[in-house]
Structure 1
Amino acid sequence: MVNFVLQTRPLFETHTGANIAEVLKSAVSEWGLQKANHGIAVVTDNARNMDVAVREAGLAPHVRCFAHTLNLASQAGLSVPRVSRLLGRVRRIAAFFHRSSTATAALAAKQILLELPPHKLIIDVATRWNSSLDMIEHYLEQQAAVTATLLSNDVRRNVPDIDTLDGSDIRDAEDIVNLLKPLKTATTVLCDEKNPTVSLIVPLKHMIEHNMASNEEDSPTVSNIKRAILNNLYNRYTSEYNHLLECTALDPRFRALPHLETDQRNDVFHRLKEKAVLNQDESKEGASGHPPAAEQPLGQTDKAGAELKQPPSKKTALEDLLGGTFDEPVAQHISQIDYHERWCFQFILAVGGSSLCIFSPPIHLKKKRLFHEWCFQFILQPEGAKETKTHLKFIYRRKENRN
């Protein structure tokens, strides 16, 4: 995926929704982005003035940045009184070591003595919730060295008001790290600039809501954090949920939509079929000189299928997050898809190989054009799928023989 910046405009007036809407409408008109029967997608943060601006500009779909949404939810969890007090104590200790050269030198000596990594304590930043998690992690890593330093005579006589964390504080700090680390990983995954990430919103939101479900073994602190995060996420993405589900279904990694009920899954596929039919009709009207995908000779499509190579298997942050939720049920849900969709799915398995694994990037649209055209033929022309099915059997068996 390649990104281009069409324009950057200063806005000297107050940043009201109406003023921002005028800038958006001007940009759409200047660059000729209007297209009949097609919306113009907009991604913004969760600010209310942006909601007003996009609505008044008549742009849709409007997708709120999920990384910003995670930031808001995490901030809500960190604002729990018990957690807020704990962060304040860790912040005060870290700030002391930043101010005192004597304490910093003593800490370095204790790190060598205890064979700990020579990492410095860090202070969190209010606008980056990840920094609060990093601050706690660094403190837990250096806990023994910090305690020994603060108890030393040279340091203790100058800081009588700074105490280390007690046992319950340490347990809560460890629980906070374990609970919020997946959210930090999700934020990192969403910062990918090489691949589209809109298809990740529904799976990641489902994963977070699943992880934040209450558990009898949770401590009071963990229960309060989970409740705060769930309450913050509850009403997010309700208006654009169907659009996000369709984006997820079109991503080969999440094609099975295992987190949905059968009726919900079928509704998503039905909407995609209708949109595919409409899109094909518009394509025929606008590009009559190009032969339809069904007229491509089988030899040519066979060659295209043979050139599809599997990417090397590697473990990534996305696999850590969703590996147990969204990769295993793929084959289980094939039987719940209707006849021609099931053969389309098997074709993905045959020529896409590990492209269905969630740690592989989505299939490159430009290189796999014929692959997607074949998939559309299954959706749009099931009555003519018999001949293509026979050819796909050949490819599928050839794939099995190679393995």
Structure 2
Amino acid sequence: MSLKCGIVGLPNVGKSTIFNCLSSAKAQAANFPFCTIEPNVGVITVPDERLTKLAEIVHPGRIVPATCEIVDIAGLVKGASKGEGLGNKFLGNIRETDAIIHVLRCFDDDNITHVDGSIDPIRDKEIIDTELQLKDLETIEGRLSRQQKVAAAGNKEAKIEVGVLEAYKEVLEQGKNARVVEFDSKEEQDAARNLFLLTAKPVLYVCNVDEASAKTGNDYSRRVEEVAKAEGAEVLVIAGKTEEDIASLETYEDKQMFLDELGLEESGVNRLIKKAYALLNLETFITAGEMEVKAWTYHKGWKAPQCAGVIHTDFEKGFIRAEVIKYDDYIKYGSEAAVREAGKLGIEGKDYVVQDGDIMHFRFNV
């Protein structure tokens, strides 16, 4: 299961700097708009301390963490929905992602020009929102006229889609994002998902601040937090240039020392990856053996057979049962054998809802 997040924002807000910290695929970070012409893609690992602790017990041949794909998308300007700047390319790239990491400039620096001449993260946010909303409206209006004709001929699915399109059209014309609309029936939800609207994607706002504001944020980031709260969206404060300095350090100890000096428990990059992962309602189950300790990604709420299918479709087809050890129990007792002896190994059937951090062993027959 792949997770793809797009990093977006106006030119010179720090997108490529943050991307550089996230990925070994180095985007060019330069002080002029559109230095990222083609989207840079990096596959990055999801930090999970549980894998390391399990490996200390199991001594596997390798550790395989969960991964996600980060796409650094070319800067957007006013008029992108009509093809200004790199608009069409930008909007095509973002349509292919599962979630949006929206970087907002929340720092002052006379040496780095702003495309609109001043620092105002709320204005910047609204520019991008407007461009994406206009593109979504264009998509909806084109489809609505066609589906209305099909619905008039008595097609039930078209009638459902027309209702969905009209609901989206109403909120977008009010300057709101499609993600504020919720649908009750599965048919409506499926129709909505199949539209692939840009503003329906979940979003995480990243406030790129100066080093002094890395721990507590600043007035700019607090304004973003207020607006995001009204939207029901999450905000992460991160000092991009500081993260770049941390990423350049070679040893884990040096990085921890740097973080301690800043009063931070964890790097902003780690927090960003974890939030991006959670943004899509994703969790991790683990398999642990002599060959490898491996994290597997699944959607929260999935049952045991669906999770078995993440490993191999045959596991789901021939599912018999799942043997489940809770992570805390594995750590407490120190081995699978000791867990069994303590009576803490669960035997679960098809209706078991997998929990984050479950250590799973699937029994199947094909």
Same fold (TM over 0.5): no
Q: Which is higher, the Rg of structure 1 or of structure 2?
A: 1
TM-score when normalising by structure 2: 0.24
Q: Say which structure is richer in strand.
A: 2
TM-score when normalising by structure 1: 0.22
Using CA pairs under 8 Å that are at least 6 residues apart, name the structure with larger relative contact order, 1 or 2: 2
Q: Say which structure is richer in helix.
A: 1
